[in-house]
Structure 1
Amino acid sequence: MGFYKTEAIVLRTREWREADQLVTLLSPDLGRFKVVARGARKPRSRLRGGIQPFTQARLMLHTGRSIDILTGSDTCKCFYFREDLEKLTWAVYWADLLNRLLPEREPNPAVYFLFLQFLYLLESIESINQERVESRILNHLFELKLISLVGYRPELTHCVNCQKALSLTSEQIWFSPARGGTVCRLCSQALGSGALPVSSGTLALLKHWLRMDARQFRRVRPSGSNLKELERLLPAFLEYHLEQGLPSRKLVRNLVDKE
């Protein structure tokens, strides 16, 4: 393949050998992949600026024997969250989700542009200390849209066990992370403790969010009880598909517990 170019967002970096950096990238045409930035830890390296986490850049790369090599970068946008610990926590958590949910080298342009859009939306929140509810809403919206784009869109209108159409107004409904969606009362008893009760208001909110343009997230204000339900359902759904927890999830729980 030789030399090639791509646009990408930096998900994470870590030290590699004496002076290099191993960089995990998300690209619309290459998906999630890793490259080596040689000499990037040296003070005068011209690669340092373009490989900071949450930087969007146009990259020049060269095909290597076992891993490709970053040879140049042109920064498009740097989301500088280091001075805001709470914004940084959300961004790190989202990057961890992408790193775990996306297979390597499988392009998914919709996921790339979703992540880019949500970084802009996160940046637009002026003061998370005053508007932590806003950031929690944004996070749950990202979780829901991401899991839908990677093939785990939850079923919210029928029982996933017996296929019965569910009424939001006339019956209690449960949500099964293992089955991938809503469950009627009778089937929830058969499934045992794996199903979680969910209110009609939270289900209606999830349905609306799946259709909604993320830029409109400020127009929808869930109640406190809706947020608490979302903070049980969505992490449980994600953890089932991740098969194990994320370290950054603990940081997210700490933010929520401050409320």
Structure 2
Amino acid sequence: MSRTYRDEAVVLRTHDLGEADRILTLLTREHGQVRAVAKGVRRTSSRFGARLEPFGVVDVQIHLGRSLDIVTQVDTLAPHGRELMADYSLFTTATAIVETAARLTEEEDSSQQYLLLTGALAALARRRHAPTLVLDSYILRALAVAGWAPSFSECALCGNGGPLRAFSAPMGGAVCGDCRPPGSAAPTPETFELLGALLAGDWALADTSHERSRKESSGLVAVFLQWHLERQLRSLRHVDRDFAYDVARPAPPGTYVPTGAAAAHSAQAREIVA
């Protein structure tokens, strides 16, 4: 049996090790979450140190080790880190996205989670939608893939189609007046509409939503995520939620445009968030 394998991966986190090495936490397409050592990447002479920055999508060759695997070769597929680290709003949003991915894939291998993550990072880097919408859509869809799909079009308890009066994370989403538990939130119908659009990937509706609905939906998404993870995301509180973000703002000069194999990967990723 070969002790070496290749896979696509997103760099979730990095930690320095010793004077020149770095420990990587990767979400791979076929092997789930992997921790591996990239030796010598902090040296200026490293062949692939710059390719292993957070948020980057890479094709990586890994050798199975005793305690940690070892990265032996890296090719860049999409260097999203360049664009995401240059904009504070994009950076904080991307950090929350990769932390969510790390939590949801700690014990589960899912190529769908990988594709959702690469799609969200591509949408952020190319400024296809407002960052807060990309984040909330990613969280809802990643939770759905993990088995915690919320209900926004009918009562999560009785299945009644409406009118929906409240939102309850423990109950599984929207609830009608008869099933509404004490203390539950009472979002506007427009907010339920936006939440449903974010879950379904209806960007025509989401992109034209009002600021009030975006603020309200973001709060509900954060509560729903915390309930199922049974903990808060540390990065979520630092997200720069600029609800008036101009989604039509062009990417700055020098923005990475994929070609060849990287372009094919980018196109596949965009299908997830389109």
TM-score in terms of structure 1 length: 0.84
Q: 2:143 aligns with which of 139, 147, 156?
A: 147
Aligned-residue CA RMSD (Å): 2.3
Residue identity in the other structure for 2:92: T
User: How far apart are the structure 1 equivalents of 2:106 and 2:206?
Assistant: 34
What does 1:91-130 correspond to in 2, within 5 Å? 91-104=94-107, 106-125=108-127
Residue identity in the other structure for 1:199: T
Matched residue, 1:37: 38
Q: Which runs of 5+ in 1 are unaligned?
A: 127-132
What does 1:96-245 correspond to in 2, within 5 Å? 96-104=99-107, 106-125=108-127, 134-161=130-157, 163-168=158-163, 173-188=165-180, 191-193=181-183, 195-212=184-201, 216=203, 220-245=207-232
User: How far apart are the structure 2 equivalents of 1:164 and 1:134?
Assistant: 32
Q: Which deviates further from its counterpart, 33-42 or 219-228?
A: 219-228
Q: C-alpha displacement at 1:63, in angstroms? A: 0.6
Q: C-alpha displacement at 1:134, in angstroms? A: 2.1
Matched residue, 1:130: none
Q: Which deviates further from its counterpart, 80-89 or 229-238?
A: 80-89
Q: Which structure has the higher relative contact order (CA within 8 Å, separation 6+)?
A: 2
Matched residue, 2:11: 10
User: How far apart are the structure 2 equivalents of 1:36 and 1:246?
Assistant: 25
Task: Tell me the alpha carbon deviations over residues 154-211 of structure 1, each in whole angstroms, 9 at most, x when there is no partner.
Answer: 02244333x141313xxx51111112122222332xx322x21122222222223333
Matched residue, 2:253: none
Asked if 1 retains the 8 angstrom alpha-carbon contact of 2:211 and 2:243, the reply is: no
Task: Tell me the alpha carbon deviations over residues 195-232 of structure 1, each in whole angstroms, 9 at most, x when there is no partner.
Answer: 2112222222222333336xx45863111221122022
User: How far apart are the structure 2 equivalents of 1:196 and 1:41?
Assistant: 49
User: How far apart are the structure 2 equivalents of 1:112 and 1:68?
Assistant: 20
Matched residue, 1:52: 53
User: How far apart are the structure 1 equivalents of 2:219 and 2:31?
Assistant: 33
Change (3 A) 1:247 1:210: closer
Task: Tell me the alpha carbon deviations over residues 14-67 of structure 1, each in whole angstroms, 9 at most, x when there is no partner.
Answer: 112342211011111012221111222222122312211111111111111112
Task: Tell me the alpha carbon deviations over residues 95-124 of structure 1, each in whole angstroms, 9 at most, x when there is no partner.
Answer: 1111112124x3311221122122221122
Greater helix content:
1
User: How far apart are the structure 2 equivalents of 1:93 and 1:141?
Assistant: 12
Asked if 1 retains the 8 angstrom alpha-carbon contact of 2:29 and 2:110, the reply is: yes
Q: C-alpha displacement at 1:139, in angstroms? A: 2.0
Matched residue, 2:236: 249
TM-score in terms of structure 2 length: 0.80
Asked if 2 retains the 8 angstrom alpha-carbon contact of 1:177 and 1:240, the reply is: yes
Asked if 2 retains the 8 angstrom alpha-carbon contact of 1:138 and 1:217, the reply is: no
Asked if 1 retains the 8 angstrom alpha-carbon contact of 2:9 and 2:59, the reply is: yes
Aligned residues: 242
User: How far apart are the structure 2 equivalents of 1:178 and 1:134?
Assistant: 28
User: How far apart are the structure 1 equivalents of 2:243 and 2:193?
Assistant: 25
Asked if 2 retains the 8 angstrom alpha-carbon contact of 1:10 and 1:51, the reply is: yes
Q: Which runs of 5+ in 2 are unaligned?
A: 246-274
The residue matched to 1:198 in structure 2 has which SS? coil
Q: C-alpha displacement at 1:87, in angstroms? A: 1.1
